Every structure is written in C-alpha cells, then in structure tokens.
C-alpha cells in the first residue's frame, strides 16, 4: 500500500503548517477538518470534513490512510473520550501509525489540568498496541504575547518559574520530519514508541519574557506575579466555565512548579536545525505584538 498521511486539525495553526510541509514534499496528504470552506483553501486536493465525535465520518475519512497526525481536540470536559473515539475510528479504518500532538509534562497529576487529558490519551493509544509517536510541545511563543494585556502587563501565578516556549513552525517541522521519515514509525524504527519534548532553545522567566517583549515593542512591558486568588478573580470577567478558568490558571502554576522548565534538543535532532528563540520569533513576526504598539 502506498503511503497516505492524514492530518487532523488541518486548518489550524499546527495542522495547517504540517499539511503544507507534507504537500511541498510531494507526498499524498489527506487533510481533515470541520470547516469545508477552510479545507478548500489548503494546497491539497484530498480533503475530508469530519469531527472527532462523529465516529462514522472519521472512519470514512481515514479509510486508505497509513499514517495519522492526530492533533488534540479543543479543550473541554469530554476531551479524552473524544480523543478515544478518534483513535478507535482510525484503527477501524486501518491506519497503521499514530503521531499524537500531546503536551509537555503530560502526567496523571500534572499541575496544568489540560496536560492530564493528554496523559490519559497517551495511555489509551499505548493500550491499543498500534505503533505511535508522541510529540509533547511546550507553550507556544505567540501565546506568550497574546497573554500580555493591552496595558502592557503580563499577569499570572507563574512565580519565578521558567518556560522554554516553542514556535508553531518548529513543532510543525518536527512533526513533518517524523511523518516523512523513510523508516516510518513501525517496530524497529527510531520513532516507534518514542516521545519527543518539543521546546524552544532557552527557558525564560515571565519577567524575562515581559522584558523581551518590551525591548521589541518599544514600550514598557512588565510581569505581575499573581496569587492564585488574584488569577481567578482577574479572569472571572470573561464568564468562562470553571474547567476553562482552571486550565488558564493552572497553565501558569505549572510554570511556577518547575514542570515547564525543560529545554530539549528534539527539534534540532528531528529537523537538523536549532529551534527559534523568543527574541528571534518576535523580530520575525511583528504581527504578533502590533496591538501592544498601538
């Protein structure tokens, strides 16, 4: 059977990049997503509209696929069950290898509540016996800018902890390298049952992150280390459900606990080049901080 690689979340920030990289390499790519109009804008002809919670649509969309990049679903109380349904549909369709986008520090007792979902999904994939590779990415560098308020203050209960945030491009390049490896991901290959931590080149404190944003934007940007109570209070204005607010707050607390203070060489090992630093990301993506210059 010829290699057919499916990419879920193909219209998203990571999936879209992976789809384009695979297409550029001339491999057969099937792009999956929920929005037909957005799928039509991708540089591939083979697209399928399917949602993780629609088992039959997923099975049809994945028939004939050999390798699957499984992008994690949007956060929510039933996220793990949705992931399980997607895995079941993939295996029922005959998919031979799963490459799952997980999260750094995935564990059953992770401080970051969403990271627990990733651990449970990983365990489910392991239990199927199917060949797999897990890509555990760190926080995204663009999100650090987005988390900075219009007033130039980066708020959160991150304490003095550090995080080696990574770019979407580096994650996509690493994922594409795994998917394109001529050895594949079966037993005996270097990616079989492998877990890769995908991080930036240096771990920065939130004070250093704020200072870096300030230097690039030319305005004063500061970090305010909130207490947990302050963090919940400052986010109450959004009216988000409790589970979502807990995810927001605990993402900072995972930094404070040291769980995000990880610098890996996986991006370089997989792609052959160093991951982009936060300062370089800002220098090459002015659109990410334009609102802070207004």
Instruction: Say if residue 122's pLDDT is above 90.
Output: yes
Give the global pTM.
Answer: 0.96
pLDDT above 70 covers a percentage of the chain that reads: 98
Cα–Cα separations (whole angstroms), residue 79 to 33, 118, 143: 17, 9, 21
Q: How confident is the model at residue 2 (pLDDT cuts 50, 70, 90)?
A: confident
- What is the pLDDT averaged over residues 193-218? 97
pLDDT above 90 covers a percentage of the chain that reads: 95
Report which of 114, 59, 65 is spatially closest to residue 92, judged by C-alpha positions: 59
Instruction: Say if residue 149's pLDDT is above 90.
Output: yes
Spatial strand order of the sheet with 132-137 comes to 47-49, 28-33, 4-7, 67-70, 97-103, 132-137, 194-198
pLDDT of residue 294: 67
pLDDT of residue 173: 98
Q: How confident is the model at residue 175 (pLDDT cuts 50, 70, 90)?
A: very high
Please give the radius of gyration of the chain, using alpha carbons only, rounded to the nearest integer.
Answer: 19
- What is the pLDDT averaged over residues 18-47? 96
Q: How confident is the model at residue 263 (pLDDT cuts 50, 70, 90)?
A: very high
- 4-137+167-198 CATH choice from 3.40.50.720, 2.130.10.30, 3.40.50.2300, 3.30.1700.10: 3.40.50.720
Three-state secondary-structure class, residue 53: coil
Instruction: Say if residue 1's pLDDT is above 70.
Output: no
Sequence ranges of the domains in the chain:
4-137+167-198
Mean pLDDT value across the chain: 96
pLDDT of residue 37: 96
């Amino acid at each position: 059977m010829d290699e057919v690689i499916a990419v879920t979340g193909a219209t998203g920030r990571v999936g879209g990049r992976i789809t384009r990289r695979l297409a550029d390499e001339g491999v057969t790519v099937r792009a999956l997503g929920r929005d037909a109009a957005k799928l039509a804008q991708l540089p591939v002809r083979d697209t399928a509209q399917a949602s993780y919670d629609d088992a039959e649509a997923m099975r049809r969309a994945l028939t004939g696929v050999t390798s699957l990049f499984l992008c994690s679903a949007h956060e929510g109380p039933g996220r793990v069950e949705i992931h399980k349904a997607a895995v079941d549909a993939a295996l029922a369709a005959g998919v031979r290898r799963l490459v799952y986008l997980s999260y750094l520090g995935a564990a059953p007792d992770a401080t970051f509540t969403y990271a627990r979902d990733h651990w449970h999904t990983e365990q489910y994939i392991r239990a199927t016996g199917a060949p797999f590779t897990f890509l555990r990415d760190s926080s995204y560098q663009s999100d650090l800018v987005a988390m900075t308020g219009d007033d130039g203050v980066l708020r959160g209960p991150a304490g003095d902890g550090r995080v080696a945030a990574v770019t979407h491009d580096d994650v996509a390049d690493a994922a594409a390298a795994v998917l394109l490896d001529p050895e594949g991901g079966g037993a005996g290959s270097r990616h079989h049952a492998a877990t890769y931590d995908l991080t930036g080149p240096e771990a920065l404190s939130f004070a250093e992150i704020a200072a870096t944003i300030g230097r690039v934007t030319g305005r004063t940007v500061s970090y305010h280390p909130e207490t947990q109570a302050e963090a919940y209070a400052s986010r109450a204005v959004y009216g988000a459900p409790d589970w979502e607010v807990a995810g927001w707050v605990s993402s900072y607390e995972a930094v404070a606990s040291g769980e995000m203070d990880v610098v890996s060489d996986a991006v370089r090992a997989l792609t052959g080049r160093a991951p982009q630093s936060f300062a370089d990301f800002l220098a090459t993506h002015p659109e990410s901080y334009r609102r802070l210059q207004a």
